[in-house]
A and B are shown apart, each in its own frame.
Chain A
Amino acid sequence: MTVFPLKFRPDENGTVLFADDAGGYFRSDADFLDRYANDCLSLPDESFLKANGHSFDHRDDLSYAAFAYRWARRLYAPTPLDYLILVPTLRCNLACGYCQVSRVNEGTPGFDWDEETLAAVLRYVDGLTTTRMKIEFQGGEPLLQLDILQRVRSFCRERFQVAEFVVCTNLQTVSAEAWEFLAAPDTFISTSLDADAQTHQRQRTITPEKTAHFASNLRSAIDRFGSDKVSALPTLDIRSLPSPGAVVNSFTSFGFRSIYLRPVNYQGFARKRFAAKDTTAEWNAYHSSFIDFLVEHNWTAELPIEEYYFVHCLRRVLQSRHNGHTDLRNPNILGEGYLVVDYDGTVFPTDEARMVTRIGQFDFGMGNIKTGIDRSKLDPLNAESSNNFHPDCVHCPYQAYCGTDLVDDLSRYGRIDMPKHLTDFCQRHMHIFDKIFEMIYSADVKVQKTVAIWAGLPEFEPALAKVHQ
């Protein structure tokens, strides 16, 4: 029999996690690693590997075909473009501390789509082959351009069989007309809720009046539309992290059950203030304690809570084809499945790319929606966008579940060939996957309950924690 290549990672207790390129995993020990590396597998070793999809006998047998299938399914293949992020204005009625680079004041002229840009966007959309479309309105504050939102939405509703719209709004000032716009069943709200009222005020709304107004609008949105139509994301400042309890209380008070923890994305000069490595370790520790808090919470709570990104990674461990998060894909092909159109018509491959370009670090512009999209700039990036044969990733047991984010690497380090283990992306994900496996293999019933809930199961199944003695 031939064994499919295994990657390994020991933990501090002497157990070793093994995984293959298709994402199949098991735990064993250093002795097994020795036998495997030295080509001295015992009969029980061979029997275990065969029974668990880690080997094949002949190239045309079922084991080989099944492995090839599972391996191929781990790869992301972009669909014809069916998702657009539109930035019709950079004007905003708030001045959040961490948003210095992607906003201008509400009254500033020259930072909105003109008629020509709108027409070019609609022409572009009209030429697409997809029958389904998702449009995400960003900014600035998109509701300041309600007219453009309405026109884009009307067009897409006519043009596509299925169309979905997300408005990323600060919910600070919502006119009656805007409420009506947001009420439609195909339109969803995404807003920021930075932990608790105190943190939200410090980072975003500044005054108690504005904070209260925001809270009232948010509550209004949920009461009118239900919490399925509204999602809220917290942005957390590493220098001043709120307690997990404060975040959970705040979110559950609005009926939210999914919390996506995102650290503030410091750009350029702000990043130099904090050594990237220290920040990552600190963030990882906080994130870990947050997960632990949720495990306790979910043990007794009537309605369990999830940390969105952790659950996304857990699902990627257990299953293939979980490619819903644009920053965690392998290969992470840019400029195909979705695009960003800026206030002046400039086209970018991702929102982060738009921001990195704005601060003058790199130019990710792919041309202008009015004059033509040029993808050639992305070719060198796309050529490096898979982790399968990266000299660091090829040895990593998490490779099949992980991905690449070259825009993030460029924005932080100015290059895409940093040793992976020195990048924030790798350190964050190693930490997340370490914790995921720690939880999968935990004998603690509280942990098992949360793992089951987050994996979408009625109950935890011990067979998920495969061990080879």
Chain B
Amino acid sequence: MIDLRLKVDPLPISEPLVVRLCDTAHPSPSENDAHLVRRDAGSREYDIWGFSLTVYVSGSEELDGDLLLILPRQPSAHRLIRANSKHNTLLITEQCDQLCVMCSQPPKKHHADLFDEFAIAAKLAPRDAYIGISGGEPMLHKQRLFEFLADVCASRQDLRFHILTNGQHFEASDLGLMDSIGLDRILWGIPLYASRPDIHDQIVGKAGAFAQLKDSLAMLTRLGASVELRTVVMKQNWNDLPQLANFIINQTPFISVWALMQMERIGYGRMNWDKSFQDTSIDFRHLKSAINLAKAKGIPVSMYNFPLCTVPANYRSMAPSTISDWKRKYLDLCQKCSARSTCGGFFEWYSPSEGFVGLGAL
């Protein structure tokens, strides 16, 4: 598990501060650059505008190019963007208007607007960075979000974003702006759990969600937006999976990819694990049907968060490594596995005693 927070000696600041840690002078310097002054076994000292910033981190950790968010009077800084990682996500808000049964990030009432800071960080991100935007529900702050995207995308033509949203807040008036930002700059990750409103609405805990989502998808189809449709496979929607595949090939043929996902055992996901977790390692039937139908019809399909040994051999090529590095682990039995280097492993909080029965080194 990689810690996304670093202990720091508090700085005398009254506003949040974004800092880019630089071991050496950056080729495109900025006023947010903090330059490495001293490096000890368990800490590093940086200079920023004449002030000293001390960060506590193990000697082996790479920090060069990282974007940190330092809040007033807080003893830890957030690592917003890790220069060496492919998995960087900005948490826009913890507020949400849905209550998904497997939610890994249960909603909170309070919202802190850090869009300005996120904009600074994104503009200083490494070249070609692919930045995740998540929540809660990011589009609860739609106007600020679009301002952020328009600003950053205009300023940095190389950046792309992967935005998770429940798809409940798209309006026709948004489409022009989305078009001008660039349809290939943003991949919208939108969950769809079933082919029927009763199942989908129950899973997301909101009546009318399915109907609203359909309207949004119609708008996104006409716009030509890039969409990753995400389906967490659970007991609640297992039997509907083939019908969902049929729905997708007919009603959402424009999507860039259909991601079938295994559950993450954290947050509500952990609370509702027993009644929700579907052990696909012992019964792959409906997944097989869904995958083959979609694939036959030209819809790209991918399995996210499936350990390779839980997937039949001729489907493993569709199960890439997707668990973010900072929350990924492997089990003891993985040590002898021939597929370890390509397998995405398990979530940090995976519990073997309540998880897949059909595990084993390949």
Contacts and interface: CB of A to CB of B under 8 A. Distances in A.
22 contacts: A24-B250, A51-B243, A53-B249, A61-B214, A61-B215, A62-B218, A62-B252, A66-B250, A66-B254, A318-B296, A318-B298, A319-B296, A321-B298, A452-B292, A455-B296, A456-B295, A458-B292, A458-B314, A458-B315, A459-B288, A459-B314, A463-B292
B34 interface: no
B322 interface: no
A442 interface: no
A463 B251 contact: no
Interface string A426-463: 00000000000000000000000000100111111111
Interface residues of A, number: 29
Given A61-B218, A457-B292, A66 B252 contact: yes
A86 B26 CA distance: 51
Contacts of A455: 296
Contact of B215 (A62, A318, A321, A464): A62
B235 interface: no
Interface in A46-75: 51-53, 60-66, 69-70, 73
A319 B295 CA distance: 10
Contact of A319 (B222, B246, B292, B298): B298
Given A65-B221, A70-B253, 19 more contacts: A52-B246, A60-B218, A61-B214, A62-B214, A62-B215, A62-B252, A64-B218, A65-B217, A65-B222, A66-B218, A455-B296, A458-B288, A458-B312, A458-B314, A459-B288, A461-B293, A462-B289, A463-B242, A463-B289
B39 interface: no
A258 interface: no
A62 B246 contact: no
B18 interface: no
A203 to B, nearest CB: 38
A320 interface: yes
A328 B323 CA distance: 43
B327 interface: no
Contacts of B292: 452, 457-461, 463
A319 B254 contact: no
A463 B293 contact: yes
Nearest to B214: A62
Interface in B220-259: 221-222, 242-243, 245-247, 249-254
A451 to B, nearest CB: 9
A141 to B, nearest CB: 39
B297 interface: yes
B221 A62 contact: yes
A169 B252 CA distance: 45
A421 B114 CA distance: 67
A52 B250 contact: yes
A458 B296 CA distance: 10
Q: By CB atoms of chain B within 10 A, which of A53, A70, A458, A464 has the most? A: A458
Given A60-B218, A61-B218, A463-B289, A457 B296 contact: yes
A51 B246 contact: yes
Contacts of A63: 250-251
A457 B295 contact: yes
Q: By CB atoms of chain A within 10 A, which of B217, B242, B246, B250 has the most? A: B250
B242 A62 contact: no
**Which 8 residue pairs are nearest across A and B when measured between Cβ atoms?**
A53-B250, A319-B298, A461-B292, A458-B314, A65-B221, A62-B218, A65-B218, A62-B214
A461 B293 CA distance: 6
Nearest to A70: B253
Interface string B180-216: 0000000000000000000000000000000000110
A69 B220 CA distance: 11
Given A52-B246, A61-B214, A61-B218, A461 B289 contact: yes
Contacts of A319: 296-298
B299 to A, nearest CB: 9
Contacts of B288: 458-459
B311 to A, nearest CB: 11
Contacts of A60: 218
Contacts of A65: 217-218, 221-222
A464 B250 contact: no
A24 B245 CA distance: 15
B193 to A, nearest CB: 16
Nearest to B317: A458
Q: By CB atoms of chain A within 10 A, which of B253, B289, B314 has the most? A: B253
A69 B289 contact: no
A321 B297 CA distance: 11
Contacts of A460: 292
Q: By CB atoms of chain B within 10 A, which of A61, A62, A69, A319 has the most? A: A62
Contacts of B297: 318-319
Contacts of A452: 292
B217 to A, nearest CB: 5
Interface in B82-112: none
Contacts of A53: 249-251
Nearest to A63: B251
Contacts of B289: 461-463
Contacts of A52: 246, 250
Contacts of A461: 289, 292-293, 296
Contact of B221 (A69, A321, A458, A462): A69
Contacts of B293: 461, 463-464
